[in-house]
Structure 1
Amino acid sequence: MRANPRGFLGRVLAGLLLSFTCAHAANLNSLKDTPISYMKPADRKALHCAAQEALDTKKDGETIKWNNDGTGDTVHIEGTVTPRDTVKREGGPCRKVTLVVVAKGQTQSWTPTECKKGETE
């Protein structure tokens, strides 16, 4: 069990949203019209749930598809979540997870590292 199941991925998604907000405030258009700019809280929750499922149930290289159907967002968003590169360490295993988001023909991806805490294997 993860020490804080919403913590890490929630922080990643919040950071990405904050980056978009800061870029918008600074009048930088680097994130304008990218998938993250179309994601509403319910979309981020759908991605988060898919990421948790993938991290908890999939082996390295196995992919889960996800979408925002049923979230109420008028922009269709879909993508994949693929855990990879699991490394066992003293405090618990760490693995990278590739998050891919597609909206309005644009693709965006991130590869954060998630570590379980307080587990021994």
Structure 2
Amino acid sequence: MPIRDRALAHACIRTIAAAALVAVSAAASAANLGFLNDTPISYMKQRDLQALNSAAQVALNTKKDGESLDWDNKGTGNTVPIKGTVTPQNSFESDGLKCRKLTLVAEAKGQTQTWTPSACKASDGKWKLKKQ
């Protein structure tokens, strides 16, 4: 086989190998998030997340530790009904900011999902998730 043909064959093999590697990597990444299939967050759209955020802001500002605020996604345009609760758990200070741990619960299509982030009150008065 002439050198030019050999170089072309090697280039083709490298291209095919690279494409296969990209395909396998993409499949592996998708598989790593497969556990989220059919969970409430997989049905949430941007407006649902905004409704949850609004409920969290209200709960953090008005509820005592352990008191829950119900929320749902009515009016967001999502055909999948999602509902849940936001429950502030305990208050603490971090980097000079007032912070609270909270429990967020979402229910959709018979599945329940729970998150327990912390949020801190920023200088603009809004609660923002604390980076873990």
**TM-score when scaled to structure 2?**
0.67
Greater RCO structure (CA 8 Å; 6+ sep):
1
Of 21, 24, 30, 1:26 maps to 30
Compared CA separation, residues 90 and 74, structure 1 to 2 (3 A) = closer
Instruction: Please say if residues 98 and 109 of structure 1, whose CA atoms lie closer than 8 Å, have aligned partners that are also in contact.
Output: yes
3-state SS of paired residue (1:96): strand
Unpaired runs of 5+ residues, structure 2, are: 1-25, 124-132
% identical aligned pairs: 58
Match of 2:8 in 1: none
Of 82, 89, 97, 1:84 maps to 89
Aligned-residue offset at 1:84: 1.0
Match of 2:50 in 1: 45
2:41 pairs with 1:36 = yes
Provide the rounded CA distance (Å) in 2 between the counterparts of 1:26 and 1:57.
Answer: 39
Unpaired runs of 5+ residues, structure 1, are: 1-21
Q: Which structure: larger Rg?
A: 2
Aligned length: 98
Aligned-residue offset at 1:116: 2.2
Partner AA of 1:73 in structure 2 = N
Compared CA separation, residues 81 and 25, structure 1 to 2 (3 A) = same
Aligned-residue offset at 1:88: 3.7
**TM-score when scaled to structure 1?**
0.73
3-state SS of paired residue (2:59): helix
Aligned-residue offset at 1:74: 0.5
1:67-98 C-alpha deviation (Å, 9 max, x unpaired): 01111110000000000111245612211010
Compared CA separation, residues 83 and 23, structure 1 to 2 (3 A) = farther
Instruction: Please say if residues 91 and 117 of structure 1, whose CA atoms lie closer than 8 Å, have aligned partners that are also in contact.
Output: no
1:24-74 C-alpha deviation (Å, 9 max, x unpaired): 942232100000000011110100000000011111111100001111110
Match of 1:62 in 2: 67
